[in-house]
């Protein structure tokens, strides 16, 4: 079997085609937004938000009897409430961002459990009803992520210089009289949106990995922010595609394969960097 056949055979299955597109699109969006998450030290945000949306899932489940539309919308509401709450705690008290994330995540998750158990007298991690699987992406799901993806990327482009100032030097944002609070909340909302949309398309583990690992790898390889974003998006997409193919041929869970692939990319970037630094040292010593 030649390389061409190897590439084409999995594409004979519609679910593989959709999975590839989903991994690509989600990879790009998560990598771009993940840049802000990593640079602002919010890496726990992704996993925390996956738990913090539980009350939203609970309300959505009860309101819509398990239909995905209400689940998704209410999860979005819970995600935005959580991120705004985290923002408010960080700004209004001495508590640091990582502590604020822990507080909100634990509280919201418990609220979700309480809501579910009080109405149905059993507690179940209903969030599983929302968590997607890259192999289970429907055509509607694809349109949803492409749609949201376009909106998110456009907003990042439009407010690029403002988000940059906000992330690097918040005091400068104030002295330049930018509406920094508003922009801060906008950024948090974009991050929540990315997280929830990715969650329901490809599930938790994959979302968290796509948000962080490709960006971290890019961070090691470049010093310029736009290049870093582009590189992160590239690594994320490549991890998605390669990971899916590997999972098909080796018979392992697809989400895990993609995450491991992106981790390998990170390790490679790290090794590359170390080699680069060693060779510079040698050159300087001559």
Residue 45 binds other proteins (CB under 8 A) = no
Subset of residues 232 to 261 that bind other proteins, contact rule: CB under 8 A: 244, 247-255
Residue 111 binds other proteins (CB under 8 A) = yes
Which is closer to other proteins, CB of 97 or CB of 125?
Answer: 125
Least distance CB 119 / other proteins (angstroms): 7
SS3 content of the chain, % helix, strand, coil (to 5): 85, 0, 15
Least distance CB 68 / other proteins (angstroms): 8
Options 11, 93, 275, 277; binder of other proteins; rule CB under 8 A = 93
Nearby residues of 174 by Cβ (< 8 Å), 6 or more positions away: 180
- For residues 172 and 141, give the distance between their C-alpha atoms in angstroms, rounded to a whole number: 40
Residue 99 binds other proteins (CB under 8 A) = no
Residue 120 binds other proteins (CB under 8 A) = yes
Options 99, 222, 263, 268; binder of other proteins; rule CB under 8 A = 222
Residue 26 binds other proteins (CB under 8 A) = no
Contact 9, 215 (CB under 8 A): no
3-state secondary structure of 128: helix
Contact 201, 160 (CB under 8 A): no
Residue 70 binds other proteins (CB under 8 A) = no
Options 24, 135, 204, 269; binder of other proteins; rule CB under 8 A = 135
Residue 224 binds other proteins (CB under 8 A) = yes
Which is closer to other proteins, CB of 181 or CB of 279?
Answer: 181
Quick note: the x/- pattern for other proteins over 178-217, rule CB under 8 A, is xxxxx--x--------------------------------
| Class of residue 278 by CB neighbours under 10 A (exposed 0-12, middle 13-18, buried 19+) | exposed
Residue 69 binds other proteins (CB under 8 A) = no
Residue 42 binds other proteins (CB under 8 A) = no
H or E stretch at 10: none
Least distance CB 107 / other proteins (angstroms): 7
Contact 187, 158 (CB under 8 A): no
- For residues 59 and 43, give the distance between their C-alpha atoms in angstroms, rounded to a whole number: 27
Residue 270 binds other proteins (CB under 8 A) = no
3-state secondary structure of 159: coil
Stretch that binds other proteins, among 45-53, 118-126, 262-270, 276-284 (CB under 8 A): 118-126
Determine the size of the site formed for other proteins (CB under 8 A). Answer: 73
Subset of residues 144 to 183 that bind other proteins, contact rule: CB under 8 A: 158-159, 161-162, 164-165, 167-169, 171-172, 174-182
Rg (CA), the chain: 20
Q: Which stretches within 11-159 are classed as H helix?
A: 14-39, 44-52, 54-64, 68-92, 97-120, 127-130, 139-158
- For residues 53 and 72, give the distance between their C-alpha atoms in angstroms, rounded to a whole number: 10
């Amino acid at each position: 079997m030649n390389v061409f056949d190897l590439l084409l055979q999995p594409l004979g299955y519609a679910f593989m085609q959709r999975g590839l597109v989903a991994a690509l699109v989600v990879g790009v969006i998560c990598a771009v937004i993940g840049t802000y998450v990593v640079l602002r030290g919010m890496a726990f945000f992704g996993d925390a938000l996956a738990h913090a949306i539980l009350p939203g899932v609970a309300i959505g489940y009860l309101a819509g009897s398990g239909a995905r539309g209400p689940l998704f919308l209410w999860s979005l509401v819970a995600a935005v409430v959580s991120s705004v709450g985290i923002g408010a705690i960080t700004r209004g008290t001495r508590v640091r961002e990582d502590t604020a994330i822990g507080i909100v995540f634990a509280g919201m998750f418990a609220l979700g459990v309480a809501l579910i158990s009080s109405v149905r007298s059993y507690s179940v991690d209903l969030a599983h009803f929302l968590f997607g699987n890259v192999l289970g992406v429907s055509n509607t799901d694809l349109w949803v992520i492409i749609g949201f993806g376009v909106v998110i990327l456009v907003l990042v482009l439009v407010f690029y210089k403002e988000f940059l100032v906000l992330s690097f030097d918040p005091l400068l944002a104030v002295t330049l009289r930018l509406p920094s609070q508003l922009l801060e909340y906008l950024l948090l909302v974009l991050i929540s949106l990315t997280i929830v949309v990715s969650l329901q398309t490809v599930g938790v583990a994959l979302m968290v990995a796509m948000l962080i690992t490709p960006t971290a790898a890019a961070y090691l390889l470049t010093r310029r922010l736009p290049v870093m974003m582009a590189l992160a998006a590239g690594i994320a997409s490549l991890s998605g595609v390669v990971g899916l193919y590997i999972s098909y041929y080796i018979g392992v869970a697809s989400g895990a394969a993609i995450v491991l692939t992106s981790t390998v990319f990170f390790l490679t970037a790290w090794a590359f960097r170390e080699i680069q630094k060693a060779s510079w040292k040698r050159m300087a010593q001559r």
